């Protein structure tokens, strides 16, 4: 026998505690014993709403029901019949299983309290089941808010009832059943299959217990072979609803369940059947003790999703689904429209803007100059839009995103407040099915993941975060209405770019500000200022040349990175070096110091000359030497973590109401109800701001259940590191394109330039596929492996390896350590991508069409 270990342990415990078998008990006693198993079913998730309902049976009796309404928009309604041999079990015992089904299958689950034997023998149970089903069908809109697909489901005896009502619905032409979900259903009361004989199947359910059930349910004189008791005996199963049939390897009911699946199939019904290895009868509901229950639930939910998607209306088919309506998503939509492809954009936020929609904290702005951090694809747009400042603040960048969306009428193809939960690739049809939290399933040939690289806020890994009674804020999810800190005592935790930008602005409002710093940042002044009309006019005049310049520069800025530095810091006199660093400092550019000399990011000694220069500057800016000392980075080379540019960051600490706590000296023990407790003691606050960063680059992709060829999950493929080809495509996930994905220049560049480069390249690739009748494209494993190795090797040449930064995933506990971007330069990367395309997409394999290659 190959029972899984959890089942073996459970049965051993039962054996130790057992008194006598159920079938030797009186009915009431057996019901009590079964009821006592409820703790093994666990609690189940919280629902949006639970409703006790009553349907009327044809004979006037009440049929109690429990409707479990999950959070989020449901995709279907499931009428569920519990197991228990028509004698035992009730809707209360099944409530936790129902809640799990409701949440995982995104369905309103209605548990039916059909009348049980022996008080109410056959046909009470199937009649009540039928009446309840019709009640739900007629009241669906009040239950689920809309007319949704209707499913019937059940386990064991409940599986029998589900099968029976599905047959009847087919016979009578209504109600329309989208799917029947049968867990080890009773389908044959003869109890004569081989499953009944096998000694290893006599677990929880056996022939004496089944006989005891049937004796109560269908006592002498009742024809147990009738299809209403033994649905396997139905003559004609054509037109019956599609079925999912799941069975346990060690269950007396397995053979009859599979025989029913086969008979349905033979009648032309679509059936998906699965036998769960190492499992026994009843396993699907025993969530607290048997991991097999979770596996069965996952399988059921996935099958339901896929089945409902397959039957979804043709209106849900498009050429391309784009996930995200930030700058990458908007430009992807534009490109797809240029190619004449029908496209849907799905966006979790309430409007366009991505990063700039969510990050509304005070001081938020981009570290790339606005005239460079903007689209280049439309000369008209370049000429008509006016930036007010060198580094425009977040509201202005968001306004720009809105302007672009209006100008190109993007919104009509975007669904807002719609989060993509899952995407599944069907290799036979070369299509993706994309599932959303609003219950929609959309199929598309191409899937463009424009999900952003800094879009998932990192879980705050500080103890006690939930305990604080006052308001707390996360920079990456700032309230739309803004926050007024006037007169408030505020704590800010985190001193990366977000903290560095927010701290001076919060300090300007708060009566007291304490900054909790784990690792000091290297920051230089942004020298932000309003743009003059002359500057704007000149840049606009130069735009055509400037945009080209950006594309072929090393960071995509187009200023300061067009010509690579030739000199080495270590071969330059100290006086010349200082002059260069002073110029870089005065320039207010994010990259000027790093690009001052060619060896700054390659050589630790050269790097130290820049680090020392910045330290000297900060010590000059900060009046209190003790505070300056704390603010001085000592544990990593400059540029190995993302540098910052600021507007008065160091100077903020000169104000008497601003203080700094070094968490290296006094770590946080916990957040408390009133404030923050470090090893030095507790401090109370009116508000806490977390500027603790993001699950960068891979976070958004890994949070979606993405399944490629053979059902492989992207997050499994990436468990040890994000493997892709060029950061834009992933082997095993055909026709999925990741805009600014891991191992592309992305965060090591001006995102706008990298976004446009990726989207243009993807557009060209799709156009090429269509011109050649190619259905699908994906990287070859060798090409992918070589690219991953190259990206690592390039990063390894730099000082980046010396820091525990988000660049290498070190900020998220458990994340694999790897450099998440290509450090070889935007220009080099563009040349590589162009060359690969010119060679007929070298390193990719294709499916379908004249040029179809190896994999066919
Ligand atoms: P960052 O750069 O990841 O900064 C997060 C900050 O929060 C950083 O100082 C972290 O210290 C600190 N942090 C994170 N977790 C903790 C805990 N548990 N305790 C104390 N301090 C913590 O995120 P940002 O939002 O500032 O910037 C992200 C990027 O957005 C930025 O680089 C730009 O590209 C735009 P640590 O350094 O990990 O010791």
DSSP string computed for 469-519? -S-EEEGGG--TT----TT-EEEEE--SHHHHHHHHHHHHH-SEEEEEESS
Cα(364) to ligand 1 centroid in Å equals 14
What number of residues does the chain have?
856
* pLDDT at 290 exceeding the cut of 90: no
* pLDDT at 1 exceeding the cut of 60: no
Partners of 523 in beta bridges: 644
Ligand 1, pocket-test mutation among 360, 368, 477, 498, most atoms within 8 A of CB: 498
Q: For the chain, what percent of residues have pLDDT higher than 90?
A: 86
Question: Atom of ligand 1 at shortest distance to CA of 461?
Answer: 18
| Chain segment 98-133, per-residue pLDDT in tens | 999 999 999 999 999 999 999 999 999 999 999 999
Q: Which of 348, 338, 556, 317 is nearest to 451 (CA)?
A: 348
| Chain segment 472-529, per-residue pLDDT in tens | 999 999 999 999 999 999 999 999 999 999 999 999 999 999 999 999 999 999 999 9
Per-residue DSSP letter, 755: H
Say if CB 328 and CB 450 are below 8 A apart: yes
* pLDDT at 359 exceeding the cut of 60: yes
List of residues 6+ apart from 15 with CB closer than 8 A = none
Out of 11-20, 394-403, 438-447, 782-791, least confident range: 11-20
Cα(748) to ligand 1 centroid in Å equals 17
Which pLDDT belongs to residue 22?
Answer: 83
Rounded Cα–Cα distance for residues 461 and 197 (Å): 54
Question: Atom of ligand 1 at shortest distance to CA of 494?
Answer: 7
| Chain segment 727-775, per-residue pLDDT in tens | 999 999 999 999 999 999 999 999 999 999 999 999 999 999 999 999 9
Residue range 218-236: mean pLDDT, rounded: 96
Residue range 23-28: mean pLDDT, rounded: 90
Q: pLDDT class for 9, splitting at 50, 70, 90? A: confident
Cα(541) to ligand 1 centroid in Å equals 39
Which pLDDT belongs to residue 436?
Answer: 87
Beta-carbon-side half-sphere exposure of residue 831 (alpha carbons within 13 Å): 7
The mean pLDDT of the chain is 94
* pLDDT at 802 exceeding the cut of 80: yes
Ligand 1, pocket-test mutation among 496, 520, 526, 663, most atoms within 8 A of CB: 496
Handedness of CA 205, 206, 209, 214 (dihedral sign): positive
850 or 317: which leads in pLDDT: 317
Rounded Cα–Cα distance for residues 756 and 550 (Å): 11
Partners of 706 in beta bridges: 423
* pLDDT at 313 exceeding the cut of 80: no
Out of 173-177, 392-396, 815-819, least confident range: 173-177
Q: pLDDT class for 848, splitting at 50, 70, 90? A: confident
Q: Which residue puts its alpha carbon closest to atom 37 of ligand 1?
A: 519
pTM for the whole structure: 0.72
Q: Which of 235, 186, 202, 189 is nearest to 1 (CA)?
A: 202
Say if CB 52 and CB 66 are below 8 A apart: yes
* pLDDT at 854 exceeding the cut of 70: no
* pLDDT at 651 exceeding the cut of 90: yes
Cα(852) to ligand 1 centroid in Å equals 46
Q: 3-state DSSP call for residue 579?
A: helix
**In 681-775, which ranges are E strands?**
681-684, 687-690, 705-707, 736-738
Distance of CA 393 to the CA centre of its chain: 29
Cα(642) to ligand 1 centroid in Å equals 10
Which pLDDT belongs to residue 853?
Answer: 43
Question: Atom of ligand 1 at shortest distance to CA of 663?
Answer: 20
* pLDDT at 389 exceeding the cut of 90: yes
Cα(320) to ligand 1 centroid in Å equals 35
Q: Which residue puts its alpha carbon closest to atom 16 of ligand 1?
A: 692
Distances (CA, A) of 808 to 199, 235, 591, 594, 813: 55, 63, 19, 19, 12
- What ranges in 55-183 are assigned the alpha helix state H? 95-104, 124-138, 140-144, 157-172
Which pLDDT belongs to residue 173?
Answer: 78
Rounded Cα–Cα distance for residues 856 and 853 (Å): 6
Beta-carbon-side half-sphere exposure of residue 365 (alpha carbons within 13 Å): 25
Which pLDDT belongs to residue 150?
Answer: 95
Cα(491) to ligand 1 centroid in Å equals 15
Q: Which of 320, 316, 290, 202 is nearest to 254 (CA)?
A: 202
Cα(742) to ligand 1 centroid in Å equals 19
Q: Which residue puts its alpha carbon closest to atom 4 of ligand 1?
A: 496
Q: Which residue puts its alpha carbon closest to atom 25 of ligand 1?
A: 693
Rounded Cα–Cα distance for residues 381 and 387 (Å): 12
Cα(494) to ligand 1 centroid in Å equals 5
Which pLDDT belongs to residue 314?
Answer: 47
Ligand 1 pocket at CB < 6 A: 454, 461-462, 475, 493-499, 518-519, 642, 663, 691-694, 747, 806, 811
* pLDDT at 851 exceeding the cut of 80: no
Q: pLDDT class for 382, splitting at 50, 70, 90? A: very high
Q: Which residue puts its alpha carbon closest to atom 29 of ligand 1?
A: 497
Cα(511) to ligand 1 centroid in Å equals 24
Which pLDDT belongs to residue 11?
Answer: 76
Distances (CA, A) of 654 to 256, 415, 504, 507, 612: 79, 47, 11, 11, 21
Which pLDDT belongs to residue 682?
Answer: 98
Q: pLDDT class for 855, splitting at 50, 70, 90? A: very low
Region of 771 on the Ramachandran plot (φ > 0 left; ψ -120 to 50 alpha; else beta): alpha
């Amino acid at each position: 026998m190959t029972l899984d270990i959890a089942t073996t342990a459970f049965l051993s415990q039962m054996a130790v505690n057992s008194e006598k078998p159920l079938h030797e008990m009186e009915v009431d006693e057996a019901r009590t014993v079964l009821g006592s198993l409820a703790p093994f079913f666990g609690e189940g998730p919280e629902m949006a709403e639970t409703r006790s309902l009553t349907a009327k049976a044809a004979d006037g009796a009440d049929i109690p029901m429990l409707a479990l309404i999950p959070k989020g928009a449901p995709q279907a309604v499931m009428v569920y019949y519990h197991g228990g041999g028509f004698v035992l079990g009730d809707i209360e015992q099944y409530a936790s299983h129902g809640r799990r089904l409701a949440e995982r299958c995104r369905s309103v689950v209605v548990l039916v309290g059909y009348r049980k034997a022996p008080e109410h023998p056959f046909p009470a149970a199937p009649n009540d089941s039928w009446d309840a089903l019709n009640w739900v069908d007629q009241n669906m809109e009040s239950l689920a808010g809309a007319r949704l697909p209707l499913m019937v489901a059940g386990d064991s005896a409940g599986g029998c009832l589900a099968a029976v009502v599905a047959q009847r619905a087919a016979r009578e032409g209504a109600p329309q059943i989208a799917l029947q979900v049968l867990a080890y259903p009773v389908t044959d009361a003869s109890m004569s299959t081989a499953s009944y004989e096998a000694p290893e199947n006599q677990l929880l359910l056996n022939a004496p217990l089944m006989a005891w059930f049937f004796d109560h349910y269908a006592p002498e004189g009742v024809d147990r072979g009738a299809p209403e008791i033994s649905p396997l005996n139905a003559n004609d199963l054509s037109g019956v609803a599609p079925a999912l049939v799941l069975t346990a390897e060690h269950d007396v009911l397995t053979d009859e369940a599979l025989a029913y699946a086969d008979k349905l199939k033979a009648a032309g019904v679509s059936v998906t059947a699965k036998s769960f290895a190492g499992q026994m009868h009843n396993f699907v509901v025993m969530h607290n003790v048997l991991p097999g229950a979770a596996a069965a639930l996952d399988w059921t939910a996935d099958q339901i999703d896929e089945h409902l998607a397959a039957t979804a209306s043709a209106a849900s088919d498009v050429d391309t689904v784009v996930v995200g309506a930030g700058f990458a998503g908007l430009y992807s939509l534009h490109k797809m429209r240029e190619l004449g492809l029908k496209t849907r954009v799905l966006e979790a936020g309430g409007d366009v803007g991505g990063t700039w929609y969510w990050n509304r904290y005070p001081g938020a702005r981009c570290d790339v100059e606005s005239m460079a951090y903007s689209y280049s694809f439309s000369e008209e747009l370049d000429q008509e839009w006016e930036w007010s400042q060198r580094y425009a603040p977040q509201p202005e960048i968001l306004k720009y995103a809105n302007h672009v969306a209006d100008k190109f009428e993007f919104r009509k193809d975007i669904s807002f407040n719609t989060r993509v939960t899952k995407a599944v690739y069907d290799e036979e049809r070369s299509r993706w099915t994309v599932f959303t939290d609003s219950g929609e399933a959309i199929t598309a040939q191409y899937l463009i993941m424009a999900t952003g690289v800094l879009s998932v806020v990192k879980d705050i890994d500080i103890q006690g975060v939930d305990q604080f009674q006052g308001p707390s804020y996360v920079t990456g999810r700032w309230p739309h209405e803004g926050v007024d800190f006037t007169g408030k005592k505020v704590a800010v935790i985190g001193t990366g770019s977000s903290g560095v930008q927010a701290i001076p602005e919060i300090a300007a409002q708060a009566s007291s500000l304490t900054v909790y710093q784990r690792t000091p940042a290297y920051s230089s002044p942004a020298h932000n200022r309003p743009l003059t009309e002359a500057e704007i006019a000149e840049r606009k005049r130069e735009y055509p040349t400037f945009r080209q310049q950006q594309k072929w520069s090393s960071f995509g800025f187009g200023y300061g990175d067009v010509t690579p530095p030739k000199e080495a810091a270590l071969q330059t006199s100290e006086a010349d070096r200082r002059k260069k660093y002073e110029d870089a400092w005065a320039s207010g550019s994010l990259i000027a110091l790093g690009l001052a000399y060619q060896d700054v990011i390659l050589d630790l000694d050269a790097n130290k000359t820049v680090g020392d220069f910045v330290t000297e500057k900060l010590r000059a800016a900060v009046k209190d030497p003790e505070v300056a000392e704390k603010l001085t980075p000592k544990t990593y080379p400059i540029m190995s973590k993302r540098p910052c540019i600021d507007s008065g960051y160091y100077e903020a600490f000169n104000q008497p109401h601003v203080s700094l706590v070094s968490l290296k000296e006094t770590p946080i023990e916990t957040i408390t109800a009133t404030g923050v407790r470090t090893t030095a003691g507790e401090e109370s606050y009116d508000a806490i701001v977390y500027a603790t960063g993001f699950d960068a680059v891979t976070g958004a992709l890994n949070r979606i259940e993405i399944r490629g060829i053979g059902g492989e999950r992207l997050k499994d493929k990436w468990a040890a590191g994000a493997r892709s080809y060029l950061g834009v495509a992933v082997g095993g996930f055909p026709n999925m394109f990741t805009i600014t994905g891991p191992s592309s220049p992305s965060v090591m560049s001006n995102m706008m330039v990298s976004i446009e480069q990726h989207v243009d390249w993807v557009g060209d690739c799709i156009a090429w596929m269509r011109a050649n009748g190619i259905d699908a494209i994906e990287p070859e494993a060798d090409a992918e492996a070589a690219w991953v190795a190259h990206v690592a090797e390039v990063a390894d040449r730099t000082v980046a390896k010396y820091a525990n930064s988000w660049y290498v995933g070190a900020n998220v506990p458990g994340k694999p350590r790897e450099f998440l971007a290509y450090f070889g330069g935007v220009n080099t990367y563009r040349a590589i991508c162009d060359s690969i395309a010119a060679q007929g997409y070298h390193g990719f394999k294709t499916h379908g069409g004249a040029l179809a290659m190896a994999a066919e």
